[in-house]
A and B are shown apart, each in its own frame.
Chain A
Amino acid sequence: AQKITQTQPGMFVQEKEAVTLDCTYDTSDQSYGLFWYKQPSSGEMIFLIYQGSYDEQNATEGRYSLNFQKARKSANLVISASQLGDSAMYFCAMTPGVSNSGYALNFGKGTSLLVTP
């Protein structure tokens, strides 16, 4: 079974600063995928970034990067140059296997991020 832990229920960051949202996971699988999703107050789930367990480089997507430390089983999301529109709930999730075998997602409980002016 896979388990995702997000230990920060809420975070504050000032506009234009960087922020790190923590995520640790537990799995016995050798092959897995890690995801971050953003859920603004409007409720939709927005895919941000993906990291495969065999990927040697950390994933980056614009202002988002994933700090992947496999030995520590952590997959922290780093948001650079925070914007007011980044205020939202952020979920870390994982799926067993990569490619064809990742059938569904296991989610953490989320971190609420508030960006202040």
Chain B
Amino acid sequence: NAGVTQTPKFQVLKTGQSMTLQCAQDMNHEYMSWYRQDPGMGLRLIHYSVGAGITDQGEVPNGYNVSRSTTEDFPLRLLSAAPSQTSVYFCASRATRALSYGYTFGSGTRLTVV
């Protein structure tokens, strides 16, 4: 099925460990973005990309790195995990045509840092 695929769905990390959250879409969307969702905070933008090779920071970028080498993939890297990064992470994408099609979200990754 066409859409946004996030892996893994669940992950437990120890403080200081690194990991990569994967995000892939097969809709040829140019725009991709990462969000974190914390209780009572809504979703906050971490990083976004408007095309392969182009990324930029969002509202809460500290502790996270991204790269976009292909249109399809937009991985999010945690270099040294901290308990404050315990959250649910969502990846989203959209096409460059009309916004009325909305942004398509992945199913999320629930990350716990102990």
Q: Which residues of A are at the interface with B, using a C-beta cutoff of 8 A?
A: 4, 33, 35, 37, 43-45, 47, 50, 52, 91, 93, 95, 98-100, 102-110
> Is the beta-carbon distance between A52 and B100 smaller than 8 angstroms?
yes
| A91 contacts across to B, CB distance below 8 A | 42-43
By the criterion CB–CB under 8 Å, are B33 and A103 in contact? yes
Measured in the bound complex, the distance between the Cα atoms of B105 and A50 in whole Å is 15
Size category, B interface: 20 to 34
Which of B13-21, B76-84, B91-99 has 4 or more CB atoms under 8 Å from chain A?
Answer: B91-99
Asked whether A33 lies within 8 Å of B92 as measured between CB atoms, the reply is no
The smallest C-beta distance from A48 to any residue of chain B, in angstroms, reads 8
Give the residue of A33, A47, A99, A107 whose beta carbon is less than 8 angstroms from that of B104: A47
B48, B98, B101, B105: the one within 8 Å of A45 (CB): B105
B111 within 8 A of A: no
Q: List chain A residues, Cβ under 8 A from B88.
A: 43
Report how far A22 CA is from B103 CA in the complex, Å: 21
Q: Which of B40, B42, B50, B98 contacts A107 (CB 8 A)?
A: B42
Interfacial chain A residues near B92, Cβ < 8 Å: 45, 104-105
Check A106/B45 contact, CB under 8 A, given A47-B102, A50-B99, A99-B97: yes
Binding site for A on B (CB under 8 A): 31, 33, 35, 40-45, 48, 50, 58-59, 88, 90, 92, 94, 96-105, 107-108
A96 to chain B, nearest CB (A): 11
Q: Which A residues are in CB contact (< 8 Å) with B101?
A: 50
Are the C-beta atoms of A35 and B40 separated by less than 8 Å?
no
Bound: A16/B33 CA distance, A: 36
Complex CA gap A108/B108 in Å reads 18
A102 cross-chain contacts in B, Cβ below 8 A: 31, 94, 99
Are A99 and B107 neighbours in the complex by a CB distance under 8 Å? no
Cα distance A99–B31 in the bound complex, in angstroms: 12
Q: Which residues of B contact A95 (CB under 8 A)?
A: 99
Cβ contacts A to B, 24 pairs, < 8 Å: A4-B42, A35-B102, A37-B105, A43-B88, A43-B107, A45-B43, A45-B108, A50-B102, A52-B99, A52-B100, A91-B42, A98-B98, A98-B99, A99-B96, A99-B99, A103-B50, A104-B45, A104-B58, A105-B35, A105-B45, A105-B92, A107-B42, A107-B43, A108-B42
